[in-house]
Structure 1
Amino acid sequence: MEGSGEDAAGGSIAVRPQPVEALGKGEGSRVKRIGLLTSGGDAPGMNAAVRAVVRRALAAGCVAVGVQEGYAGLIEGWMEELDHRAVGDIIHRGGTILRTARSEAFRTPEGQERALEQLRRHAIDGLVAIGGDGTLRGALALHRRGFPVVGIPATIDNDLAGTDVTIGFDTAVNTVLEAINRVRDTATAHGRTFVIEVMGRHSGQIALMAGLAGGAESILVPEVPYDLDDVCARLLRGRQRGKRHSIIVVAEGAARGFEVAQAIEARTGLETRVTVLGHIQRGGTPSGRDRLVASILGAAAVEVLLQGQSGVMVGVRGDGWVATPIDQILATPRPLPEGWIQLAEVLAR
């Protein structure tokens, strides 16, 4: 059953996913050859999205064409047709079989025109772009030049409006949470304070969710001002109550873990160690939730193209999905859940 609705930013069309047997065959659609690419930072679940796009396209009687290495490969024409077998046994794999790269050339009008020439040369009628905000900006550029394109949000940062969650975020949070659990064991054994630095240059979503779920004493994120004196005071109060260890989670955009650790040792005298998780947050087997979200959105992107829409991103909303104009998404910041930093501090006492 289909329905329509509007998200907080307005202008979204909500459609409940239909069973496979109810999916259309694409009759009457001008889109017959669908290109797809992954761009920017990789995120667990990208392969599941690639698989869904390809198999939904094939089910509609379309041809699926994979673009290697993102917009860089689009400019160079690195494309090949993908069949069911090409995307078999990839739903559980991290990374992306299409590989990914950043392209400065595509940011220029000349680069975008070269990409359009390659799309015409390979007879591509529509494109699915899988990635984060940079990927969406590239998709919007093609849309504004008249080429049909739909975006799928895949970024561990979970920093895009227009969707409940982005592909890769759940896996990244669970990776950090596992690290917190392991660090807590050694922190308890040695009676130490540990600072765990996680990814998030502009968004503290990973730090907040993993820190809250992991019982961190303090969580430092770029969106919220913090005072290291308050952090240190909280640590000392915990020691006075008999706590043998403490965990501080820091998003890289808020501070550097080693700088925070040095400040803590200098102000409290507590032995402090640092763990920088880095790119392990991007890798690994995607979680069940990320696979499910990727599968829903991959199929939804094809549906949208077959319906003749362009310049939109598909995102999950409740048990359905929505299609929201990309320019609207890029203009809408995604704030952290209100009050969750304070909640984490209360629960860590």
Structure 2
Amino acid sequence: MRIGVTTGGGDCAGLNAVIRAVVKSAILEHRDEVIGIEDGFDQFIRRQAPSELTLHSVRGILARGGTILGTTNRGNPFHYVLPGMTKPTDCSDLVVRQVQQLGLDALIVIGGDGTMSIAYDLFRKGLPLVGVPKTIDNDLGATDYTFGFDTAVNFAMDALDRLRTTAESHERVMILEVMGRYAGWIALHTALAGGAHACLIPEIEYDPQLVVDRIRRSFAKEGNFYLIVVAEGAKPAGGVHSVVEHGTATRAERLGGAGEQLASAIQKHIDQDIRVTVLGHLQRGGSPTSFDRILATRFGYEAVRAVHASKFGQMVALKGQDIITVPMESAIAKLRLVDPKSPVVLAARSIGICFGDDE
């Protein structure tokens, strides 16, 4: 078979591990030809000739962050802004023709909810597609975990460990803002693993005064510093998300500033200094953890198996310890958000982590 593989959306650790697994499994087990499609679906629209991926092409990329194929979060072929134009155009038929002209028997698409939505729409137009879930936010439905998440959490945990020592030295309140968009998975796991005093997530609106009360109580009785992990999508009760850039027809809104929003709300009510650290894209880069390398490798292998089983319109997913395939439409039906009543949240509350509500 002649199999194409592409990466779309934001980059994260583990993408190259998937590409490597796809190439090695396809060639060594099935003697397939693997074609690398660069920059998501852009290469189809630009009508540039793709390159074949060989065993040599993927040598040494397991531990490398990013993606050797490049990626973009602006390349929706159904709403594509062509060079020299200002309004988006539907280029999906061009993508379909290019796949056919390249003689691809299947296309493995690696991406998050946005990329999976595009892939599903292209599948409905007749393209033989298999999806691989990718996002540091861990918010894609139908899979327990996505690769990139564990690496992001480990980096954020390390940052929180470092902030702890400087917070103790200066008796400060430290706010660490992490990514996650509208899901609080990164913040929740970072707070638990890093020993934060408070964790503010999008799924639980917070009351700034309750956070102030917990800070005062902590400094009076427990210690001389306070660590808060804030998800970029967190918002105060009755308030709105902090947005850096509003969304358009071709691009989703960009969140940011939740940490400063919190600091501004509580600074006038406490005596301690507050410092805000925003990790930003540092969470996306770097070498993947062992968990992400293994999960990404398993996903790549199972994606090739799905292609050979003609399981098109399906996405590989982790359920418990098993990799299964699920319909793409179920994966994109809704975001996978933190349940405020989940065992993980209850565990966090039981050890005193404040979520800024009255529970």
TM-score of the alignment, normalized to the shorter chain, above 0.5: yes
- Counterpart contact for 1:216–1:348, Cα < 8 Å: no
Map 1:167-316 to 2 at 5 A: 167-255=147-235, 256-316=258-318
In the aligned structure 1, how far is the partner of 2:266 from the partner of 2:343? 25
Provide Cα deviations, 1:184-220, integer angstroms capped at 9, x if missing partner. 0100011100010001221111001111111111111
Provide Cα deviations, 1:251-293, integer angstroms capped at 9, x if missing partner. 1111411121122211122211110110000001000000000
In the aligned structure 1, how far is the partner of 2:200 from the partner of 2:234? 6
User: Residue 85 of structure 1: SS of its match in structure 2?
Assistant: coil
- Counterpart contact for 1:264–1:270, Cα < 8 Å: no
Map 1:1-349 to 2 at 5 A: 32-59=1-28, 60-78=30-48, 79-104=50-75, 106-108=77-79, 110-255=90-235, 256-337=258-339, 338-348=342-352
- Counterpart contact for 1:217–1:344, Cα < 8 Å: no
User: Any runs of at least 4 consecutive aligned residues in structure 1 with deviations exceeding 6 A, and if so which?
Assistant: none
Return the letter of the residue paired with 1:70.
Answer: G
In the aligned structure 2, how far is the partner of 1:77 from the partner of 1:286? 32
Return the letter of the residue paired with 1:89.
Answer: G
Provide Cα deviations, 1:159-201, integer angstroms capped at 9, x if missing partner. 0122121010000000000000000010001110001000122
In the aligned structure 1, how far is the partner of 2:41 from the partner of 2:271? 50
User: Residue 139 of structure 2: SS of its match in structure 1?
Assistant: coil
- Range moving further from structure 2, 261-270 or 196-205: 261-270
The two structures, once aligned, show a CA RMSD in angstroms of 1.4
How far residue 243 of structure 1 moved from its aligned partner, in angstroms, is 0.8
- Counterpart contact for 1:312–1:323, Cα < 8 Å: yes
User: Residue 336 of structure 1: SS of its match in structure 2?
Assistant: coil
How far residue 105 of structure 1 moved from its aligned partner, in angstroms, is 5.2
In the aligned structure 2, how far is the partner of 1:272 from the partner of 1:198? 17
Cross-structure match for 2:238: none
How far residue 98 of structure 1 moved from its aligned partner, in angstroms, is 0.4
Return the letter of the residue paired with 1:248.
Answer: I
Return the letter of the residue paired with 1:65.
Answer: I
User: Residue 52 of structure 2: SS of its match in structure 1?
Assistant: strand
Return the letter of the residue paired with 2:162.
Answer: R
Return the letter of the residue paired with 1:80.
Answer: S
How far residue 240 of structure 1 moved from its aligned partner, in angstroms, is 1.1
Provide Cα deviations, 1:311-338, integer angstroms capped at 9, x if missing partner. 1110122332110001111114323151
In the aligned structure 2, how far is the partner of 1:117 from the partner of 1:196? 47
In the aligned structure 1, how far is the partner of 2:218 from the partner of 2:159? 22
- Range moving further from structure 2, 171-180 or 140-149: 140-149
User: Residue 70 of structure 1: SS of its match in structure 2?
Assistant: coil
Return the letter of the residue paired with 2:275.
Answer: R
How far residue 70 of structure 1 moved from its aligned partner, in angstroms, is 0.6
5+ long unaligned stretches in structure 1: 1-31
Change (3 A) 1:267 1:341: farther
In the aligned structure 2, how far is the partner of 1:34 from the partner of 1:175? 34
Cross-structure match for 1:20: none
Count of aligned residue pairs for this structure pair: 318
In the aligned structure 1, how far is the partner of 2:267 from the partner of 2:350? 23
Provide Cα deviations, 1:79-138, integer angstroms capped at 9, x if missing partner. 111100000100000000001013455024831111111111211110001110011011
In the aligned structure 1, how far is the partner of 2:78 from the partner of 2:174? 41
Change (3 A) 1:318 1:72: same
How far residue 342 of structure 1 moved from its aligned partner, in angstroms, is 4.4
User: Residue 90 of structure 2: SS of its match in structure 1?
Assistant: helix
Return the letter of the residue paired with 1:47.
Answer: N
Return the letter of the residue paired with 2:350.
Answer: V
Return the letter of the residue paired with 2:337.
Answer: P
- Counterpart contact for 1:232–1:267, Cα < 8 Å: yes
- Counterpart contact for 2:181–2:233, Cα < 8 Å: yes
In the aligned structure 2, how far is the partner of 1:87 from the partner of 1:105? 27
How far residue 56 of structure 1 moved from its aligned partner, in angstroms, is 1.1
In the aligned structure 1, how far is the partner of 2:173 from the partner of 2:40? 41
In the aligned structure 1, how far is the partner of 2:175 from the partner of 2:345? 17
